[in-house]
């Protein structure tokens, strides 16, 4: 079986998002001052009532590499999720995780911690909040798929999401962002998880805990009993437990 790169033909919502992001990038290149009105800065949202910023910042990018990387991830992971969910739910999920991540950043900027003051003044642009929401969804729906971290090390999707979440959490709390809005990344992960648990089905925390406890208990019992082959070759059930 041959190997292939990417998820295949592009889907409608992903195509529309790619076009919108490229158009916004060209618009920002022609009119750089747009970043002050369409980028996300908590101070502007709260003090100047520029309430649209949590929805518009995700379409702006600071450079070609920033744009290409986010759009590459959108294509690689978004196409398969759109096929799974349908265009309507995919577009809704992308918008909610992107805008929700921006609102999380605004909320974090008001917290009584050292990093909050910096967040309050920081101007953030990029689709990373929505992109991290897509990665979270991919990890939940395809947990055993292999993702090459940094394009070098194969990691299961569920572990990949855990690793990037931990990196963003540490960077945010340590105030070592290096120009990267890790708070937005965390927001995309958190909003994506909550929405997938509440947006499609009713979320019951006790039922979730009961499910994970029963799964742990079953896995523990499996380790206590080995399975051996036995019986005749024509037996219907040749397993001895």
Is 43 contained in some domain?
A: yes
Question: Residue 229 — very low, low, confident or very high, per pLDDT cuts 50/70/90?
Answer: very low
pLDDT of residue 227: 46
**94, 59, 152, 11 alpha-carbon torsion, rounded to 10°:** 50
119 within some domain: yes
Q: Which of 120, 135, 118 is nearest to 177 (CA)?
A: 118
Most confident range, picked from 116-130, 168-182, 215-229: 116-130
The total number of structural domains in the chain stands at 1
Mean pLDDT score, 217-224: 67
pLDDT tens digits, 131-164: 999 999 999 998 888 877 766 778 888 888 888 8
Stretch (H or E) spanning 156: strand 153-156
Q: Give tens-digit pLDDT for 55-109.
A: 999 999 988 988 998 898 899 899 999 999 999 999 999 999 999 999 999 998 8
Indicate if the pLDDT at residue 218 is higher than 50. Answer: yes
**CA pair distance 39, 56, nearest whole angstrom:** 7
- Residue 99: give its domain's CATH number: 1.20.1540.10
Position with higher pLDDT, 103 vs 207: 103
Residue-level pLDDT at 174: 64
Residue 89 to residues 54, 85, 136, 176, 196: CA-CA distances in angstroms?
20, 6, 15, 35, 11
Distance between CA 102 and CA 58 in Å, rounded? Answer: 9
Please say if the pLDDT value at position 170 is more than 80.
no
SS3 content of the chain, % helix, strand, coil (to 5): 65, 5, 30
26 pLDDT more than 90:
yes
Q: Does some domain include residue 231?
A: no
Q: Say if 204 falls within a structural domain.
A: no
Sorted by sequence, the CB contacts under 8 Å of residue 21 that are 6+ apart come out as 59, 61, 67, 70, 71, 127
In the numeric block, the tokens 């994970």 are attached to: 212
**pTM, full prediction:** 0.75
Q: Identify the weakest region by mean pLDDT among 64-73, 113-122, 203-212.
A: 203-212
pLDDT attached to residue 50:
92
Q: Confidence band (pLDDT; 50, 70, 90) for 206?
A: low
Q: Which one is predicted more confidently, 31 or 6?
A: 31
Residue ranges making up the domain that contains 89: 12-198
Is 240 among the domain residues? no
Share of the chain above pLDDT 90, in %: 44
| Residue 46 is assigned to a structural domain of this protein | yes
Percent of the chain past pLDDT 70, that is, above it, reads 74
Q: 56 with 38: CB under 8 angstroms?
A: yes
**Any domain includes 165:** yes
Residue 110 lies in a domain: yes
């Amino acid at each position: 079986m041959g190997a292939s790169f990417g998820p295949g033909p592009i889907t409608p919502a992903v195509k529309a998002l790619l076009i919108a992001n490229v158009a916004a990038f060209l618009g920002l290149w022609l009119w750089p001052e747009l970043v002050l009105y369409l980028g996300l800065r908590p101070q502007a949202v709260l003090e100047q009532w520029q309430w649209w910023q949590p929805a518009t910042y995700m379409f702006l990018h600071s450079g070609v590499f920033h744009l290409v990387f986010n759009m590459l991830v959108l294509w690689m992971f978004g196409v398969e999720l759109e096929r799974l969910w349908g265009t309507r739910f995919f577009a809704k999920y992308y918008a909610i995780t992107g805008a929700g991540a921006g609102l999380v950043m605004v909320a974090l900027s008001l917290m009584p911690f050292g990093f909050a003051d910096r967040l309050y003044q920081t101007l953030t642009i990029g689709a990373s909040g929505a992109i991290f929401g897509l990665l979270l969804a991919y990890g939940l729906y395809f947990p055993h798929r292999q993702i090459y971290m940094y394009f070098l090390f194969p990691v299961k999707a569920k572990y990949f999401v855990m690793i990037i979440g931990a990196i963003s959490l540490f960077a945010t709390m340590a105030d070592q962002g290096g120009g990267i809005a890790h708070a937005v990344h965390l927001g995309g992960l958190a909003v994506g998880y909550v929405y997938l648990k509440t947006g499609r089905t009713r979320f019951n925390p006790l039922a979730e805990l009961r499910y994970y406890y029963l799964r742990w208990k079953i896995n523990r019992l499996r380790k206590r009993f080995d399975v051996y082959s036995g019986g005749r070759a024509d037996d219907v059930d040749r397993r001895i437990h």
